[in-house]
Amino acid sequence: MHKISNQSIQQSIQHSLLAQKHGDLVFTCGKSLQKHENQTIQEYGSFIEEYSQIIQQYAQESLMYSQLLIYAQNSTMIYSKAVEAHAKAAKAYGMAMRMYKQVVEMIIKGV
């Protein structure tokens, strides 16, 4: 069996916590856009806020699996699940930030 190192476990936990912070950031961006005077931009803000919930869900899942590794260091399956959940959170974060970038460009152009 392969033992997951304490360093890898700690990094996995830290990545999960960072993903939670990303979810908080995306939530703030979405809420901010919802206060804009333009209805379309408000709707984009709602979509972005929904991404924050997805990010938080996957970040929490990643953290749960990462913390389980403290007690099950021989489980590559649990480690894989932690990494997979983190990757999904990161993908959702990237999608949210791309949408936010597009909206900011719309605002700058005065659309």
CA distances from 53 to 45, 50, 72, 75 (A): 13, 5, 28, 28
Domains assigned to the chain: 6-109 (1.20.120)
Label residue 2 by pLDDT band (50, 70, 90).
confident
Q: In angstroms, rounded to a whole number, what is the distance separating the alpha carbons of residues 75 and 87?
A: 19
- Is the pLDDT reported for residue 80 higher than 70? yes
Q: Average of pLDDT values for 99-111? A: 93
pLDDT digits (tens, 9 = 90+) for 55-75: 999 999 999 999 999 999 889
